[in-house]
Amino acid sequence: MKKTLLALALTTLGLGAAPADAQIGPQIGVAGHVGTLGLGVDVAVALHPRLGARLGANFFPTNVDATASQVSYTVDMSSPQFTAMVDLYLAGPFRITGGAVLASDNIALEGSAIGSIEIGGTTYQGSDVGTLRGVIVTRELSSYLGLGIGNPAASKFGFFLDIGAAFHGTPAFGLTADGPLASDPTFAASLEAERLEIEDDVSKLKVYPVVSIGMSIRVF
């Protein structure tokens, strides 16, 4: 009776015995993709016809530009980032995914101004401020939840899509300057006011959107 109930439960979840024509033994696939985590590659293993696991690495080949408080920054995104995912296939290639994203570093910003610049409500000359360097600090390990299409370990060639979110907590922000005014107490107070203003903005970004699209191939 217990075995019958267990078999019924597994069948209901879609994790019962594999169809007679299903491949027996491990299936391994590779997926290359591009998205909000940069360029990436995943290695996928089919644990069951409806259950799979993936390990991935992503990196940003170039920096990006951003503007904060009228200062143009060059943003060095955290790179590389590593992912560990478990895929539950609900119907065909459609799946729900849970896992984790590991960031190897914080997001760094660097910018400078030509002419005058407002720091913490006070106007300074860019030459006196020097280079502004900021850092956005989040948790190294973020939980991930998303939806997707594609089974890299089961399809000989296939389309690959992930849409989800990495929950990295409340970010903190640090800001420094290296100009002639760097040791001036009045400027230091302005710089701290500027840091708090930017931190108030970035602290709302507790979730990093993840969108990734690419192609996959089964290799074994």
Q: How confident is the model at residue 25 (pLDDT cuts 50, 70, 90)?
A: low
Using the predicted structure, report yes or no on whether residue 7 has a pLDDT greater than 60. no
Q: What is the pLDDT of residue 64?
A: 86
- Which residue type occupies 53? A
Using the predicted structure, report yes or no on whether residue 10 has a pLDDT greater than 50. no
> What tokens were used for 112?
């400078």
Q: What is the mean pLDDT of residues 114-138?
A: 91
Q: What is the mean pLDDT of residues 82-98?
A: 96
Integer angstrom CA distances of residue 106 from 66, 92, 93: 16, 38, 34
Of 180, 166, 210, 193, the residue nearest 33 (C-alpha): 210
Mean pLDDT computed over every residue of the chain: 87
Query: What percent of the chain shows pLDDT beyond 90?
Result: 71
Look up the pTM and report it.
Answer: 0.81
All structural domains of the chain, each given as residue ranges with its CATH number in brackets, are 26-218 (2.40.160.170)
Spell out the long-range contacts of 58-64 with Cβ–Cβ below 8 A and sequence spacing 24 or more: 58/82, 58/83
> What tokens were used for 65?
């530009």
Using the predicted structure, report yes or no on whether residue 112 has a pLDDT greater than 90. no
Q: What is the pLDDT of residue 65?
A: 87
